[in-house]
Amino acid sequence: MNASIFWWVFITFFIHMNSVLCIENFIPEQVWENIDYRRAIDVSKSYLSERVEIRAKNVGPESVTEYYFALPRNSLGKVSMFTAVIQGTDTYLNCQLFPNVTRLEETGEYVGYGVINFPSPIQPEQEFSFITALYYNVAGVPYPEYIAISDEQSLLLKTNRFPISAYPTVESTLTIGGSSSFEELNAPDDAYLKGKTNVPPNEEAIFFGPWDDIKPFEKEQDVEVVFNHNLPLNEVTLLKRDIWVSQWASTLEFKEYYELKNKGAKLDKGFSRINYMRDQQQADMRKSHYLAIIEMLLPENPFGHYYNDLVGLVSTAKIQENHYFLKPRFPIFGGWNYNFTIGWTNQLSDFLHKSNDDSDMYLLSVPLLNGPSDTVYDTVEYSVYVPEGAKIADIDTPIPFVNLSVKAEKSYLDLKKGHVRVKITFKNLVNEIAGAKILIKYQYTKNAFIQKPLSIAIYIFIALMFIFLLKNINLNVK
């Protein structure tokens, strides 16, 4: 009896675990051949962006509607955005990351996938051209790791040389651009595999290939490229963004807490105020690897700005239209962290619309980010507080999130359950998608609207009547 119970529990657990874990020996059906695979990596920002132009042919016996785009598994967890468009058009294709992976027997590495779905089936022997675009929360690493204040920063990028694909590739190239200088480290002796610079039309990039007849998952020595990038590598390890809706004040109040880090090269001899001031005087608009000014791009017509950090209010800030320039108490060199809070207010009418069909229904559209440019975000906790008494009808985001919760939270003059807080957690965002809009639809009736002054009025009325009774009850003992 005990043995049968054990096996029943074991089998149930095994089946359950298999449904939770990804399949590690997944191989996509071999129905595609990459006729042309052109991969371009842009290293100009604090994060990598990759654009792959693929012309693929259906070599299977039946029509196909999906293509498995391969990615190194360690990159899967760092993908911020994965999109695809039909070449020559603005038509976006339906894309999503796929949980199953392939284990390469030769190297022991794992390959993950993004699935691209086509709007109509691709017939046998038919070719189809599309472009995928990916943004990764990954950048080159400082090379060397330690530099002086006045030195220029270089980064090292390591990536696969050949295209990682589940399908055979007829011809492939790799281009890395976005810097004024590139140098390949540990280049292979074979000129067929080496990178070349000064190749038209993009003389500032480094070009690899063209390579012919690459087998599925064929691997060569990785590319190691050093390039000049004399800018800070801004990484927000945590952003807490709170947005408060007030229909009484007709305002949308923003409050953001940043934990910011510069991932760039560290100082070799520590910080010297004299060297820093000398570098500032000689800088003359030259770019630098440390962050002295943080420029926030806010929504149009903000007011009521403030900026403080863990010490207190910071007065070294300037507002120019919707640009908020912050000067931290100290420059942020490579490896240094800085925490700060900023806030501002906007008119609610710029973000909130009223439904045409139902006068109690409202639609809120709020931008995803308003932070500095050229920045990656590891974790974003995005909270929208709608007024007390509102009922959430719908929440929609254009990008995937990790967690979503709706609960009540009390604030000033909340005498009942409190504001309704919608909290969404995102991972691996880049400022490229800052303009994406979070949409929330909620119901806020006229009764709920007057509840706030009415609740206060009820308490005051009870207090006044209590005073009246105290004044008129005779407690004298005769």
Partner 1 sequence: MAYEELYREFNDTVPFQPIFQLATQPKFAIIASIISLLLITLSLSVSSSEKHFMTKLIFCATINIMASGFVGIAAVFAANSFGVYV
Positions that interact with partner 1 (CB under 8 A): 244, 246-251, 253, 304, 345, 348-350, 352-356, 362-363, 365, 394, 396-398, 411-414, 437, 439, 441, 452-458, 460-461, 464-465, 467-468, 471-472
How near is the Cβ of 124 to partner 1 at its closest, in Å?
32
Cβ–Cβ < 8 Å for 112, 69: no
Q: Which is nearer to partner 1, 229 or 452 (CB)?
A: 452
How near is the Cβ of 264 to partner 1 at its closest, in Å?
36
Provide the β-strand partners of residue 340.
258, 309
Q: Which is nearer to partner 1, 198 or 359 (CB)?
A: 359
How near is the Cβ of 297 to partner 1 at its closest, in Å?
22
Write the CB contacts of 157 (distance below 8 Å, at least 6 apart in sequence).
41, 43, 48, 140, 176, 223, 224, 225, 226, 227
How near is the Cβ of 236 to partner 1 at its closest, in Å?
25
CB count within 10 Å of CB 147 equals 22
Q: Which is nearer to partner 1, 185 or 463 (CB)?
A: 463
Q: How many residues does the chain have?
A: 478
Q: Phi and psi for 308 in degrees, rounded to 5?
A: -140, 160
Cβ–Cβ < 8 Å for 57, 125: yes
Cα separation, 215 vs 459, whole angstroms? 77
How near is the Cβ of 409 to partner 1 at its closest, in Å?
14
Reference 388, options 365, 417, 360; nearest CA is 417
Strands 337-347 vs 303-309: parallel, antiparallel or unpaired: antiparallel
**Amino acid (one-letter) located at 442:** Y
Q: Which is nearer to partner 1, 273 or 471 (CB)?
A: 471
Q: Which is nearer to partner 1, 44 or 246 (CB)?
A: 246
How near is the Cβ of 354 to partner 1 at its closest, in Å?
6
The label of the residue with tokens 């590495």 reads 109
How near is the Cβ of 117 to partner 1 at its closest, in Å?
16
Q: Which is nearer to partner 1, 352 or 369 (CB)?
A: 352
Q: What is the separation of C-alpha 474 from the centre of its chain, rounded to a whole number of angstroms?
A: 70
Cβ–Cβ < 8 Å for 109, 131: no
Q: Which is nearer to partner 1, 10 or 92 (CB)?
A: 92
Provide the β-strand partners of residue 30.
none
Q: Which is nearer to partner 1, 150 or 308 (CB)?
A: 308
Q: Phi and psi for 227 in degrees, rounded to 5?
A: -140, 155
How near is the Cβ of 348 to partner 1 at its closest, in Å?
6
